[in-house]
Amino acid sequence: MKINTEEILNEIIDKMQDVMKIRANDIPNIDLYMDQVTTFMDEKLRSSVRKGEAEENILTKTMINNYAKNDLLPPPVKKKYSREHIMVLIFVYYFKSFLTINDIGTLLNPITEEYFGDESELKITDIYEEILKQAGEEMPKLEADLRGTYEAAEKTFRNVPQEDADYLRLFSYICFLSYDVFVKKMLIERLLDEVSMKRQDKEEALKREKEEQQKREKEDQKREKEVQKREKEEAKRDRKNKVTDK
């Protein structure tokens, strides 16, 4: 089985460049309705779709509603989605190919909670542009790594018949790539587990602090009532003593 692996590799590298071209300025700076969002995403990310999935939408209305329902995406305002919404959706699109919904939420929630909207000095747009810039700068390294792995796979199975070697080398290349994906996915999941634990620890600490504050307030209120009670009793005794003195 002869497959032109190098040609496919070059095709994927070209697609990587296309996907990385969605700059913040390419995203409409006006609020969009759902249909406009799905159309935009389809136009910009269509080149990243597998051939067998070419007829499917990149993102559907149901998907976007589910993302909002699962807190991956802040809710729309009057059924409209901002530029920041679309940036978050682009992140979700990349992550959903190898992360669970829960993991994506763990990763994105700190971002959307802190930097989504007009109140934060650092914006989602700033984060998106920085990530895109750094990813672009890392592209030559990624390309070199893909080509290096391909060259390593081509050196395998030197002593087998050519009709077997072609597929076995393809199998080697896919195994090498899969191992790389497997290890990186393990690392990502481990990091996300740590993020989740830290957030849980923080939430529990805040809960304990709130409970302690409420306890202190109750104790203060109790002491205040006791003071008021004593003051009333003293005032009552004083009035009684004055009557007796007369």
Q: How far apart are CA 237 and CA 244, in angstroms?
A: 10
The CA-based angle 217-218-220, given to 5 degrees, is 65
Q: Indicate the range of 170-174, 184-188, 201-205 predicted with least confidence.
A: 201-205
Give the other-Cβ count within 10 Å of 208's Cβ. Answer: 10
CA 200 to centroid of chain Cα atoms: 17
Alpha-helical runs (H) found in 99-161? 101-115, 124-154
pLDDT tens digits for range 110-146 = 999 999 987 788 999 999 999 999 988 888 999 999 9
Position 243 confidence tier, pLDDT thresholds 50, 70, 90: low
Q: How far apart are CA 11 and CA 9, in angstroms?
A: 5
pLDDT at 44: 86
Q: How far apart are CA 87 and CA 129, in angstroms?
A: 10
What phi and psi values does residue 99 have, to the nearest 5 degrees? -120, 150
Q: What percent of the chain has pLDDT over 70?
A: 93
Q: How far apart are CA 3 and CA 221, in angstroms?
A: 79
Predicted confidence (pLDDT) at residue 55 exceeds the cutoff of 60: no
Domain ranges of the chain: 5-155
pLDDT tens digits for range 65-92 = 999 999 899 999 999 999 999 999 999 9
Nearest to 114, CA basis, from 101, 127, 103? 127
Tokens representing 220 are 């203060």
pLDDT at 56: 67
